[in-house]
Amino acid sequence: MRPERQRKLLTQSIVLAFSLALFCSSTALHFVRQGSLSEFIISTITIVPVSAIFRFATKDIVLRLQREDYEFLGGLVNGVLGNGSELCFAIIAVTRRESIIAQTALTGSLLSGCLVIFGTCLLFGGIRNERQFYPLIIARANAQLLVVSLVSIALPTAFKSWSQDGESGLIAVSRGTAIVLLLEFISYLGFFYYTHADITTNEPVPGIGALAIQPALVNMGLLATAVPYPRLGTEQQSLREMRDTAREARSDKPQYPIYVNSLILLCSLTAMVFVSIYIMESIEAPSDTMNISKSFVGLVIMPTIIASVEHITAILRSRRENIAWIIETAFGSSIRIALFVFPIAVIVGWICGTPDMNMILDPFQVIILCLTVILVNHIVHNGVFHWIEGTMLISSFLEIAIAVWQYPNNA
């Protein structure tokens, strides 16, 4: 057996053993000290290795499908299961009538993906590379999808705030918006994994930022000479080829048959369901014992811990892989949450008779999301990344965390 294969098996064995130990501990605390702070802490930590196992099995299935040329099917599996831990937690929260926790956790996951994961990628990738150019088609399409998701959240909230008929028709607007977002999610998968999987990403960028007005700046004497337009790469490369190149660079190969990965998914999903229940039953503990609001737990603590595996992966891979991977990975999580997980949670609330689970957020959260999407869109449309922009995104998240800590509302 090759040393690389041995290291992978050893790592997987350690993660599995660690997950089992934590799961047994959280289960024991659930029966011995139900609703305690210790149950909340251990259960929240347990989510990390369990979700890592779930992500590994999902990735292995996607790799096998893409290697066998089932690009769209692989994208569909990744889109549906890519944020399995967030989806599982949100559904459990909705079924237990904790809609506020579900909403804040999903909003926090959006913020974490856009600011922390994306910012971490830019920071560590930019430290290695002085400047990073990226496939503009991918970046702009992803950023525009975030705007669509923002519109879907802002509209019901504005409807509630300014409608003269009160909340009449509000639930219908929210549920209709959720259905539209699911249709947009299908369009997103079709675009990136089917109709435009072979679109080339190496194109000139003649209209980004200050580059678009260079001739006028030169004529006014404000710029000595025009800077050449950046290109998106040194070779013509389609989205499909870009993914293949990234896999070959990492020597990624499927490790297990699909039926083995399906069994792993089933076991890890079962564990996540139980752990999510343990968290929900002890969700009041931080507020009661440490005076931490539900807003801070949902918007900051839960998303940061659940996405910690993605944070570590972003740090390791952004230093050795190209910007195309950063764009697709950093935005992918936020888009899946906005276009798939959030609408599914709303529909589950519809089925369970929980009207409080809707697309209507606290105005404070809507403003936070607006500022986040504006910042990300501005950075993306500049056409080039530096490490300083990574610090901007991370510092913005810290500022939001400070504001949420002091925010007096539980919503």
Summarised one tens digit per residue, pLDDT across range 308-359 is: 777 676 666 666 555 656 666 667 888 899 899 999 999 999 998 888 888 8
Q: What is the CA radius of gyration of the chain?
A: 22
With cut-offs at 50, 70 and 90, classify the pLDDT of residue 211.
very low
Domain CATH code at residue 156: 1.20.1420.30
- 8 A C-beta contact, residue 85 and residue 203: no
In the predicted model, what is the mean pLDDT of residues 104-129? 84
What size, in residues, is the chain?
A: 411
Burial of 341 (0-12, 13-18, 19+ CB in 10 A): buried
User: Residue 186 has what pLDDT?
Assistant: 92
Residues linked to residue 385 through DSSP beta bridges, in sequence order: 132
CA 235, 239, 244, 250 torsion-angle sign: positive
Place of tokens 């019901």: 156
Q: pTM for the whole thing?
A: 0.82
- At 200, is the pLDDT very low, low, confident or very high (cuts 50, 70, 90)? low
**Residue showing tokens 């251990």:** 42
In a domain, 229, yes or no: no
In a domain, 217, yes or no: no
Cα distance between residue 117 and residue 89, in whole Å: 20
Higher pLDDT, 31 or 201: 31
The tokens 């802490």 sit on which residue?
A: 41
CA dist., res. 132 & res. 380, Å (int): 11
Percent with pLDDT over 90 in the chain: 15
Task: Determine, yes or no, domain membership for 232.
Answer: no
Which residue range(s) make up the domain with 311?
Answer: 3-201+237-406
Residue 131 in contact with residue 383, Cβ under 8 Å?
no
Comparing 221 with 333, the larger pLDDT belongs to 333
User: 157-166, 177-186, 194-203, 370-379: which has the highest mean pLDDT?
Assistant: 177-186
In a domain, 81, yes or no: yes
**pLDDT of res. 205:** 45
Mean pLDDT of 45-51: 88
Contacts of 71 (CB under 8 A, 6+ apart): 65, 193, 194, 197, 240
Mean pLDDT over each residue of the chain, to the nearest integer: 79
- Give a yes or no: residue 241 inside a domain: yes
Q: pLDDT class for 208, splitting at 50, 70, 90?
A: very low
Position 223 in a domain: no
Residue 149 pLDDT > 80? yes
Mapped onto helix, strand or coil, the DSSP state of residue 128 is helix
Amino acid at site 53:
I
Whether 398 is in a domain gets the answer: yes
- Selection from 76, 44, 81 nearest residue 298 by Cα: 44
What is the phi/psi pair of residue 316, to 5°? -70, -45
Asked whether residue 299 carries a pLDDT value surpassing 60, the answer given is yes
> Considering the domain boundaries, does residue 212 fall inside one?
no
Cβ neighbours around 209 below 10 Å, total: 13
What distance, in Å, lies between the first and last C-alpha atoms of the chain?
A: 53
- What's the structural domain count of the chain? 1
